[in-house]
Every structure is written in structure tokens, then in C-alpha cells.
Amino acid sequence: MNQKNLFKTKNGSLYIGSIDIGRIVKKTGSPLYIYDAMIMRSQMKKLKSAMPKEVTIHYAVKANPNRAVAEVFQKLGAGAEVASGSELTLAMKAGFKPEKIIFAGPGKSEKELKLAIKKQIGSINIESETELFRVLKASTAKRPTPIAFRVNLDFAKKKGEIMIGGPRKFGIDDTQIKNLAKKALNDNRVEFTGFHCFPGTQLANAKTLATAYRQFATWVKTTAINLNMNVKTINFGGGFGIPFKDGDAELDVKALGKSLNAIIKGLRSSPIFSKTRFLIEPGRYLVGPSGIYISRITDIKKSRGETFVICEGGIHHALIPIVLNKNYPTAILNKMNLRNSRTVTIAGPLCTSADQFSRRVKLPQPETGDLIGVFNSGAYGYTAGMTLFLSHPTPSEALVENGDFYIIRKPKKPEHGTRAKIEF
Ligand SMILES: Cc1ncc(COP(=O)(O)O)c(C=O)c1O
């Protein structure tokens, strides 16, 4: 599986919708992130049809926090998972009803918590004992705040496979939950709905995810029976991986759905789970394959036998390939019909040797002015870079939906700082 194949080519050029990429970039300029809403829809459809009917999908806004992108998922009936007050505001502007929004993440400020409480969102996912106290203090018995506990479960894991377990800044250790849960159950300022667990990111193996879900479900069952509570929500988190290179298998969402179905059936056999709602909150899976980061080649040089293709954009715009340590699928978008006859390293203009987003990849003969496309860039792209490093303008963002093209974020020139005296 290769994400490049999700897009059409004609006469050697990549097409987005019915338009040649060269014509698009003439209008938008570059560097550019472009997203295809049709691919978002098909990812959502694939996931929805594979999951048991009891499972609600919440789009993890952090993956691509452009309002126009969030709107695509809102219109498809998803809920939203947000990680900051600003993402919460964005989700509401995108039309998500407050009760369909979950707010998770460590270090929520008092201002952010008050906003979430005021808007009566679906759930604030509590990440620490002190956060619970802050929520209690800001809530009233008249309008109890729905909360869930994010659990740092000590998974039995294979090295590098699952992100959580051990000492973590995320969630509350499983061993600490019982006492806090008792407090929450006995305080009428909050409505304690259930538990949340995020197993990791870019997990492309259904068995790995199913194992994590099973362990979490078993833990929830023991804990809830112990607490004698009816569990209203269980949130299994996100982390659904996507393929990167030729030959990478797609996450088998059907197999995952079957495992989840069995887990849910198992839980339903106990009356405390008879009304439980089940949630997942993927980001990358829904939006990653829909996006391409596009940057023009500005120079080509050789160093000790190796060819470096230098682009106008680099890891200040597309940092995640480095963080994930992956060569994202890359192509010359105006030479899609030519043979990949050269081995090159694609680098940006930054003064750090980390600024190389594809190392030793095969491409057709590159030339200055060609358009390099980095596929799989719909998630953790635009906002997960270091956009201000070296003071280049930010990229623009564009969306194609139902045959129409939209600029969904204009490029911005960096500010150069200011000097304003502080008076005391
Ligand atoms: C709590 C939480 N939920 C959901 C996500 C989305 O993860 P992914 O994009 O890997 O599905 C993240 C990502 O960091 C997260 O921290």
C-alpha cells in the first residue's frame, strides 16, 4: 500500500480533483499543504463501517486543527477530541456540539478548564489529582461537570510498541485511580462518567491495539466492580497507524472492529456496563493520508558523491517525518510518469543537518523548479513544525471538496519582534 496511489495522475502530473498540481500551485503559491476531503471521508467510512455500532468516533483535532478540516468530520457525524482551550473553541466554531467534545491532555490551565465547564462539554478527561480538585472547585452541584479519568495503565508491552505504562506525564497511574474515583463518585459537583486510555500513536497492527484494549477493558471491569459504579463511557483512545512505504500493510480495521466487538460483548454481560458508550479518538488515520506537503526545488548539489535536493520548505513545515523517523512517501509531482532513477536526499533551507525529510530516496532526475510532494502529510503537518525557525513565511493550506478548491489558511510572514517598554 502506498498513499501516493490515492491520488490520480495524468500526463505525468499529479491531479487533485480534476486540476493539475502545477496549475493549483500557480494559484496558491508554495510551500503548500493540500488536503483532499474525499480521502478524509473514505477513511472515516472505512473506520465507521468496521467498528461495532456502539462505538463513537471522535476526531482528534490536534492531528489537523484547521477549522475547514474539522468541519469535514463534524459533517460526517464525528465528535471531537481537543487538547487545548483554543482547540475547544475551534471545534465549536466547526459546529461540534459541546456534548460531543472531549478535552484531554496534561496541564490544562484554569482558564481552559473554566471554558470547558462553562460550555458543558461531553467530558473533561482528568490527568492528575490536582486537576480533579481544580475542576471540583470550578464546578457546582447545580450543573455537575462531566468528567472521566485518563488512566496510565501499566501495559504488559513489547518494547517500543505502546506508548503508555511506566512513569508518564499523561493520565493518572492505574494504582492511584481508586481513591480519586471514590472522591469523584461522592461529589455532586461532577458527573463521573468513566475511563479513558490512549495506548500510543502510529500503531499499525490490529493485534497490538486489540491487546491494549483488552487489558484496559479488564482493568476497567475490575475497578468499576470494586467501586460499585455504573460505567457510562469507556474511551479506548486513538493511535491508529497508516502505511508509509510500498509494502507496508494497512491497519486491519475490520479485525480490530471484531476484537472490539468481542470486548464490548464481554463487558455488556455485566449490568454495570449495560448503558456504557464506547469511544475512539483517532487523528492520523482519519486525516493523514488526505494531505500532501508541496515544496519547490530551489537547488541541487552533490556532496562527496551524494545528491542533495534542496527545497524552499523543510522540517520547519514538516517536522513529524523526523520525529517518527520515517521517510514519508515522496515524489516529484510534475514527473509522476518518469522512472525513479536517482537516489537523493531531500533537504530544506534550515541551518541544521536535521533538516532532511527524506534520506536516500529514489526519484526521477530532479531539476530546480520541480515540485516535491511529501505524502501522508495531512496529520501533524502544518501545526507540528517549527514554522518560525529561520524566519521563513509559513506555508498555505488548501482543501479540495466536492470538486471545489479553497484556500483554508493564507501564508504568513514572520514577525520580527518588537520592543515595548513595560511600565511598573
Ligand atoms: C489523548 C489523545 N487522543 C488522541 C490522539 C490522536 O492520536 P493519533 O493521531 O495517533 O490517532 C492523541 C495524540 O497524541 C492523544 O494524545
Distance (angstroms) between ligand 1 centre and the Cα of 29 equals 31
Instruction: Give the DSSP H/E element, type plus range, for residue 361.
Output: strand 356-363
> The dihedral of CA 353, 356, 359, 362: what is its sign?
negative
Mean pLDDT of the chain: 94
- The residues, any chain, with a CB within 8 Å of residue 23's CB and separated by 6 or more, are none
Q: How far is CA 80 from the centre of its chain?
A: 11
187, amino acid identity: D
Q: Ligand 1 centroid to 380 CA: how many Å?
A: 10
Tens of pLDDT, residue by residue over 28-49, are 999 999 999 999 999 999 999 9
Nearest CA to ligand 1 atom 10: 239
Alpha-helix runs per DSSP H in 153-280? 174-185, 206-227, 253-268
Contacts of 190 by beta carbon, 8 Å cutoff, 6+ apart: 135, 136, 139, 144, 145, 146, 147, 184
Cα–ligand 1 centroid distance for 238 (angstroms): 5
Residues whose CB falls within 8 Å of the CB of residue 301, separated by 6 or more in sequence, listed in order: 307, 308, 310
Closest ligand 1 atom, residue 203 Cα? 10
Predicted TM-score (pTM) of this structure: 0.96
**Three-state DSSP class for residue 79:** strand
Ligand 1 atom 12, closest CA: 238
Give domain limits for the chain: 3-36+289-409, 104-282
Closest-CA residue to 254 (of 46, 10, 37, 34): 46
Q: Which is the closest atom of ligand 1 to the Cα of 240?
A: 11
* pLDDT single digits (tens) 244-294: 877 788 999 999 999 999 999 999 999 999 999 999 999 999 999 999 999
Q: How do strand 32-36 and strand 291-303 relate by DSSP bridges?
A: antiparallel
At 353, the pLDDT band (50, 70, 90 cuts) reads: confident
Percentage of the chain modeled with pLDDT above 70: 97
pLDDT at 157: 60
Q: How far is the CA of 246 from the centre of ligand 1 (A)?
A: 25
Contact at 8 Å (CB) between 132 and 126?
A: yes
Instruction: List the grid coordinates of 125.
Output: 478527561
What's the confidence (pLDDT) of residue 162?
Answer: 59
Which of 81, 125, 240, 280 to mutate for ligand 1's pocket (most ligand atoms within 8 Å of CB)? 81
3-36+289-409: CATH architecture: Beta Barrel (2.40)
**Atom 4, ligand 1: residue with shortest CA distance:** 238
Average pLDDT for residues 10-19, to the nearest whole number? 93
Q: Which CATH architecture has domain 104-282?
A: Alpha-Beta Barrel (3.20)
pLDDT digits (tens, 9 = 90+) for 108-162: 999 999 999 999 999 999 999 999 999 999 999 999 999 999 999 987 666 555 5
Question: Hey, which of 73, 242, 281 would you mutate to test ligand 1's pocket, going by the most ligand atoms within 8 Å of its Cβ?
Answer: 281
How many beta carbons lie within 10 A of that of residue 412, not counting itself?
A: 12
Instruction: Give the residue, out of 47, 59, 62, with the most ligand 1 atoms within 8 A of its beta carbon, to mutate for a pocket test.
Output: 62
Pocket of ligand 1 (CB under 6 A): 60, 63, 81, 104, 198, 201, 237-240, 281-285, 379
